[in-house]
Homo-oligomer: A and B are copies of this chain.
Amino acid sequence: MQHNPIKFNLELNPNVSVDCVIFGFDLEQLTVLLIDRGEIPSGFGPRMALPGNLIYDNENLDMAANRILDELTGLNNIYLEQVGAFGDPDRIHKESDREWLKSIRAEPEARVITVAYYSLVPISKYKPQAASFAKNADWIPVSQINELAFDHFEILQAAKDKLKQKIKIQPIGFNLLPAKFTLSQLHRLYESILDKPLDKRNFRRKIQKLNILTSLREKQRGVPHKPSLLYEFNEEKYQELTQTGFDNFGF
């Protein structure tokens, strides 16, 4: 479907876009999929930005977020959660930002309000797509990011906070892991999201007590140390658990 930008009076009508914070986990640390906007004259701000696009008039907000995710990663049916809306009137102020906006067919003079989402992607399933803006996408460790274009750094911060809260309440971390994973991987994942060390034995005890993991009769292969048992997340058992009113992992 084609959309042509049209001039109009902007007084009460901002552009509305959707930006996605796409989290991944490389089994070491939490990462985010960022777009490199390319060479930008010095003094014109960060090159890296969150993937995003204007919403179409026939889709709702969730659909727009899924579309962006699909175009960029080829994945659908991905865990997706809204972070919130962001939109200072002076959000866009750099010339380079205006150029960028034109490239996604937004009115460069218009105010842009953006609705941010975060999504959790099993990094192993990610394959770079052909879509133009996906060419320069890359996974960057969250801990290494200290600036982004527009207000995207603020959005990333908000997304991290949301994720941190959510993981204390729901077992969404599994969306970042391969179907079969080790307890140590899960442990590292929780540590990097909560951004604090967790005692190994206590973590294992707590997770196992919840009884939402299926232990496979299968071991890691080819690791230069004692191989770990592999586990699967068990959706049904988690459903049973929620029936009991459970809503707190106690991290």
Chain A contact residues, CB within 8 Å of chain B: 3-6, 8-16, 54-61, 82, 84-89, 105-106, 110-111, 113, 115, 165, 169
**A89 to chain B: closest residue by CB:** B58
A8 close to B5 (CB less than 8 A): no
Query: Contacts A61-B113, A115-B85: A11 and B3 contacting too (C-beta < 8 A)?
Result: yes
**A11 to chain B: closest residue by CB:** B57
Give min CB distance, A49 to chain B, whole Å: 20
Contacts of A59 in B (CB 8 A): 89
For this chain, the copies found in one complex come to 2
Besides A6-B11, A11-B57, A82-B85, 12 other A-B contacts (C-beta < 8 A): A12-B15, A12-B54, A13-B13, A13-B14, A13-B110, A14-B16, A14-B55, A14-B57, A16-B113, A57-B111, A60-B89, A61-B113
In the bound assembly, the distance between CA atoms of A84 and B115 in angstroms comes to 8
Contacts of A106 in B (CB 8 A): 12
B12 close to A57 (CB less than 8 A): yes
Give min CB distance, A250 to chain B, whole Å: 9
In the bound assembly, the distance between CA atoms of A105 and B12 in angstroms comes to 10
In the bound assembly, the distance between CA atoms of A134 and B83 in angstroms comes to 31
